[in-house]
Amino acid sequence: MTLATKTIGQGQEVVLIHGWGSDSQIWQAWAEETFVGYRLTFIDLPGHGNSPELAATDIAVADAWQDALLAVMPVRAMVVGWSLGGLLAQRLALSHPERVSALLLIASSPCFVQKQGWLPALEQSLFARYLTEVMTQTLTLLKSFVALQTLGSQKPKQLLKQLLPLLTDTLTTHHRALKQGLQLLEQLDLRQEIAALAMPTQWLLGEQDAIVPVALAQALPSLQPQARIDLVADAGHLPFLSSPAQTSLLVNQFLQGMNF
């Protein structure tokens, strides 16, 4: 099945991939104001927004989601990924570098779960709980996750009020897709691979992010020395919503410093 997309504008190709439990609506207004003069393709992940779920075994989820994204992407584009979307963007760039001209990774990580010697991430016990609750307490879990994303922003209550309407009835019934997304966040670990990424890369992290700790900024230079790392002050996991002007400024500084 084909993933739902929306394309607007003219110019260099930019693909935007959103995070878990959301859809492309969450950042469309911000992206239109930020990427002026570009052709933007917004993609809804499997089971999110207007995209259908994908049937895939636990082992094949990463490949199935990646193939679905590649099928609707332009031949070559800058890929902008937020959270889970950023993790998928990294994997795309590693497996198909000819398709990715540049990477812009917002509130994302090469490894979202803590492991021995890797602390700038979420605890494994949290994901274990999420994987259980996503099948039995879906709406409650999604609301809890949205609230977690708003932490660290200057107006979390206002942001929460803005985000809750995006939790559609369709999303809350797509248990398989939500579980698959959590499995990707739990299992994918690209720390040892991202040094091979040769395209221009920007990591944009919220200083108060409760999901991707800002300590990641200290770990990234040893993992991907050539990448640009920027911090958004007074922002959590949603810097493009809580601090849109500052986030746009940092993005455009990155864009002005490269040709793709």
pLDDT by residue (tens digit) across 59-78?
699 999 999 999 999 999 99
pLDDT by residue (tens digit) across 88-128?
999 999 999 999 999 999 999 999 999 999 999 999 998 88
Cβ atoms of residues 62 and 184 within 8 Å? yes
Q: What integer is the mean pLDDT of 224-232? A: 97
83 is catalytic: yes
pLDDT by residue (tens digit) across 144-200?
999 999 999 988 999 999 999 888 888 888 999 999 999 999 999 999 999 999 999
48 is catalytic: no
Q: How would you classify the pairing of strands 38-43 and 77-82?
A: unpaired
Q: Count how many Cα atoms sit within 13 Å of the Cα of residue 180 in the half-sphere of its side chain.
A: 24
What pLDDT sits at residue 169?
Answer: 80
Domains of the chain: 5-256 (3.40.50.1820)
Is residue 5 pLDDT above 90, yes or no?
yes
Q: Report the mean per-residue pLDDT for the chain.
A: 94
From the candidates 51, 209, 230, 248, which is the catalytic residue? 209
CA–chain centroid gap for 129, Å, is: 21
Cβ atoms of residues 15 and 104 within 8 Å? no
From the candidates 174, 237, 242, 243, which is the catalytic residue? 237
Is residue 260 pLDDT above 60, yes or no?
no
234 is catalytic: no
For residues 172 and 150, give the distance between their C-alpha atoms in angstroms, rounded to a whole number.
20
Cβ atoms of residues 131 and 182 within 8 Å? yes
Q: What integer is the mean pLDDT of 25-40? A: 97
What does pTM read for this prediction? 0.96
From the candidates 22, 24, 51, 83, which is the catalytic residue? 83
